[in-house]
């Protein structure tokens, strides 16, 4: 694609290279130096007329300032349009102030990023009370991609849909579970959850659908600590599930969390590569590439008009 470049820092190099290969577009590094006092110095090596700034925003507090510096430097080097490709987008869960004095991080993040980029493309942002992703970024074009086809591809339906069951561990996972189930042509149910703390949850299976003897796939968008999946796994084991595994879009949990999931009886956790993780099983690069190709073609048509 003419006059198009993908730019990424070292920590996102592998994801950027996969996207580069999918799109047949050159990728260039962004150099990041940390001074002894932890200030950041950013240097971009080149820019395209349309530049895709690739950054998965896990560990956001260490990534956001260098990202803004990179966007500024890309603009200085001649980037007319900057598309932020953020496979995982941080700070989406806090969309309201639940107590006096709380910052609404979702709104703040949008105000931080919007002046520096022209568009944002992400995968399954963790939205609760905001149904439309474009409402989060009202000042720029915002595209949220569904990972349902990716997770559905990990479901083994070879023995027939009666042998498997997709389960959402809480009501927040209903939309993702339903979408994956439809793509996998498999039945699904939703559990109920009460959260007392980050790692203290109670999950209840109160659906009439039988679990006994079935292969169960727990489906969620984000695995942060794994506490919800662990609690759900214990309940499903008690209900007689033959095998339980989990499918997630974004895996943020630690190695210790994975051990606890195994001890709870989870066969395995598999995730997309939106966040580099040992559980990555399928790449989101084709999904991102398809959306970016369409957007870039639209932008290039405006140049020619």
Q: What is the pLDDT of residues 175-216, one digit of tens each?
A: 889 999 999 999 999 998 777 666 667 788 888 788 999 999
* Assigned token pair, 272: 């997309």
- Residues 84-89: what's their mean pLDDT? 98
pLDDT of res. 156: 87
pTM score over 0.85: yes
For the cut 90, the answer to whether the pLDDT of residue 139 exceeds it is yes
At the topology level, CATH places domain 4-146+284-304 in Rossmann fold (3.40.50)
C-alpha dist (Å) from residue 299 to 77, 119, 133, 140, 277: 19, 11, 21, 14, 33
pLDDT of res. 246: 97
| Sequence ranges of the chain with CATH classification 3.40.50.2020 | 4-146+284-304, 149-282
The Cα 113–Cα 92 span in angstroms is: 13
The DSSP bridge pattern shows strands 40-44 and 27-34 to be antiparallel
* Assigned token pair, 211: 């679990």
For the cut 60, the answer to whether the pLDDT of residue 227 exceeds it is yes
Residues 126 and 147 sit within 8 Å (Cβ to Cβ): no
Of the pLDDT bands very low, low, confident and very high (cuts 50, 70, 90), residue 1 is: low
For the cut 60, the answer to whether the pLDDT of residue 305 exceeds it is no
- Residues 273-296: what's their mean pLDDT? 97
pLDDT of res. 130: 79
Of 3.30.390.50, 3.40.50.1450, 3.40.50.2020, 3.40.920.10, which CATH number belongs to 149-282? 3.40.50.2020
Beta-bridged to residue 220, according to DSSP, are: 248
pLDDT of res. 180: 95
pLDDT digits (tens, 9 = 90+) for 246-263: 999 999 999 999 999 999
Give the residue with greater pLDDT, 72 vs 207.
Answer: 72
Give the residue with greater pLDDT, 98 vs 36.
Answer: 36
Rounded to the nearest 5 degrees, what angle is found at the Cα of 21, between the Cα atoms of 40 and 137? 55
Q: Quote the DSSP letter at residue 8.
A: E
């Amino acid at each position: 694609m003419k006059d198009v470049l993908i730019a990424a820092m070292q920590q996102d190099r592998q994801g950027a290279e996969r996207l580069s290969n999918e799109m047949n577009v050159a990728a260039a590094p962004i150099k990041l130096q940390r001074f002894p006092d932890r200030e950041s110095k950013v240097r971009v090596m080149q820019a395209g007329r349309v530049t895709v700034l690739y950054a998965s925003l896990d560990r956001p507090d260490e990534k956001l300032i260098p990202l803004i510096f990179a966007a500024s430097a890309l603009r200085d080097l001649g980037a007319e349009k900057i598309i932020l490709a953020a496979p995982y987008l941080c700070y989406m869960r806090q969309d309201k102030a639940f107590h006096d004095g709380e910052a609404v991080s979702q709104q703040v993040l949008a105000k931080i990023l919007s002046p520096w980029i022209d568009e944002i493309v992400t995968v399954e942002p963790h939205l609760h009370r905001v149904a439309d992703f474009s409402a989060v970024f009202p000042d720029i074009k915002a595209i949220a991609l569904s990972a349902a086809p990716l997770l559905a591809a990990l479901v083994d339906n070879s023995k027939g849909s009666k042998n498997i069951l997709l389960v959402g561990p809480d009501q927040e996972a209903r939309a993702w579970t339903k979408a994956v189930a439809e793509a996998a042509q498999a039945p699904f149910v939703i559990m109920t959850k009460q959260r007392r703390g980050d790692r203290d949850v109670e999950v209840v299976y109160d659906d009439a659908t039988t679990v006994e003897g079935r292969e169960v796939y727990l489906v969620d968008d984000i695995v942060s600590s794994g506490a919800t999946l662990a609690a759900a796994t214990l309940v499903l084991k008690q209900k007689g599930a033959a095998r339980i595994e989990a499918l997630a879009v974004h895996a943020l949990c630690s190695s210790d969390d994975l051990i606890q999931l195994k001890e709870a009886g989870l066969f395995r956790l598999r995730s997309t590569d939106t966040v580099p993780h040992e559980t990555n099983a399928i790449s989101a690069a084709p999904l991102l590439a398809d959306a970016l190709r369409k957007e870039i073609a639209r932008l290039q048509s405006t140049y020619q008009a």
